[in-house]
Amino acid sequence: MTEAPTDTLSGRVAAAEAARSPWRDVWDQFRHHRGAMFGVWVLGLILLVVLAGPWIWHLDPTKSDILARNKPASWAHPLGSDHLGRDLLARMMAGGRISLAVGVTAMVLSILLGTLIGALSGYFRKIDTLLMRITDLFLALPLLPLLLLMMTLFRDPLAKTFGPEGGIFILIVGGIALTSWMHTARIVRGEVLVVKEREFVLAARSIGTPPHRIITRHILPNVLSPVMVSATLGIASAIITESALSFLGLGFPPDFPTWGRLLFDAMERIQLYPWQVILPGIAISLTVLSVNYIGNGLRDALDPRIRGR
């Protein structure tokens, strides 16, 4: 592109346009989305506190101090302490790490599964009907009841093999991924069906590129934008699902707290110490809100029909 003749006016315009990468356009659009920028800042702040916080705040989230039970906020415990005298700031940071790890891991698994099924289904006509039938079947399943069921049924055997923490993590992440890949699969399939008819795919096929490489090198990069949006919104819904499971008492064990579990534990003392309930609730809500705003901003920025308006 840079070797294009630059002496004519149209050539110069083309060169100037080529210098701007499409991602730059996306970023420019994204930057002007007020909600999305709010989301980026808030999420960034939450991530900073949760990830870097423990280096500054050294209290152990599981160490109990019976003399300092249910204390209000003070210099020793900036967010107070819970019914066993454990520091709430340390517990919130520990809980946030797990909540966010669950959200991100579940989203990655769900997107991988959804993209795999969607791409196979869109590219290979032979298995399309079968895979879409399976997708429809999954969409017709009552997901929350099934998730609850999986949590109770497979908690103990998985805890035996992978340890109490690892087992429940695998179970929750796997359960959320298994019950949330369908929309991604449908979106990816739709996009693949359109992209695979384009000329560059035909060109790739005519020089003998094997199907798996056509999918990974030529088709998937072109369906990236809807997948990215779906992934962002997926983190939000995974965090909500995990906290809902924990809230129903079927999530993480109490000595391995997440925000949802902290809220659930504090429910017993809601009359006396409502603050202990509100704190994790605000953390969950702010995280989900900012992730949703980022997702919306991404969707607007990646949509070429809206971009530039």
Partner 1 sequence: MFNYTLRSLAIAIPTLLIISLVIFLLLEAAPGDPLGEVPLTVPPEVKEKMRTALGLDAAWYIRYLLWLKQFFWIEPLHLVDRIFGTGYAQGMQRVISFQSRLPVMDVIAERIPQTLVVVGMAYLLGVLIAVPIGILQAYRQYGLFDQVGSFVAMIGFSVPTFFTGTLLIIIFAIKLHWFPSVYDTTLRVTDWSSFWAQVRQMTLPVAVLALANASQFSSYMRASMLDNLGQDYVRTARAKGMSERVVVLVHVLRNSLIAVVTVIALGIPGIFGGAIITEQVFKVNGLGQQLISSIHANDLPMVMTLTFIFAILIILFNLIADILYGLLDPRIRYD
Tell me the backbone φ, ψ of residue 269, rounded to 5 degrees.
-110, 30
- Find all residues with CB under 8 Å of 202, minimum gap 6, and list them: none
State whether residue 81 is helix, strand or coil: strand
Over the window 183 to 222, marking each residue x when it contacts partner 1 by CB under 8 A and - when it does not, the resulting string is ----------------------------------------
CA atoms within 13 A on the CB side of 251: 31
169 vs 259, which CB is nearer to partner 1?
259
142 is a contact residue toward partner 1 (CB under 8 A): yes
**What part of residues 76-105 is at the interface with partner 1 (CB under 8 A)?**
none
Over the window 244 to 283, marking each residue x when it contacts partner 1 by CB under 8 A and - when it does not, the resulting string is x--xx-x------------x---x--xx--x--xx--x--
Between CA 9 and CA 6 the distance in angstroms is 7
Q: Which of 145, 208, 210, 308 binds partner 1 (CB under 8 A)?
A: 145
227 vs 283, which CB is nearer to partner 1?
283
**What part of residues 225-244 is at the interface with partner 1 (CB under 8 A)?**
236, 240, 243-244
For residues 296 and 232, the answer to whether their CB atoms sit within 8 Å is no
E strands along the chain, which residues?
Answer: none
216 vs 285, which CB is nearer to partner 1?
285
* End-to-end Cα, the chain, rounded Å: 27
Largest CA distance in the chain: 81
Count of residues that bind partner 1 according to CB under 8 A:
40
The residue type at 14: A
**Contacting residues toward partner 1, per CB under 8 A:** 35, 136-137, 140-146, 148-150, 152-154, 156-157, 236, 240, 243-244, 247-248, 250, 263, 267, 270-271, 274, 277-278, 281, 284-285, 288-289, 292-293, 296
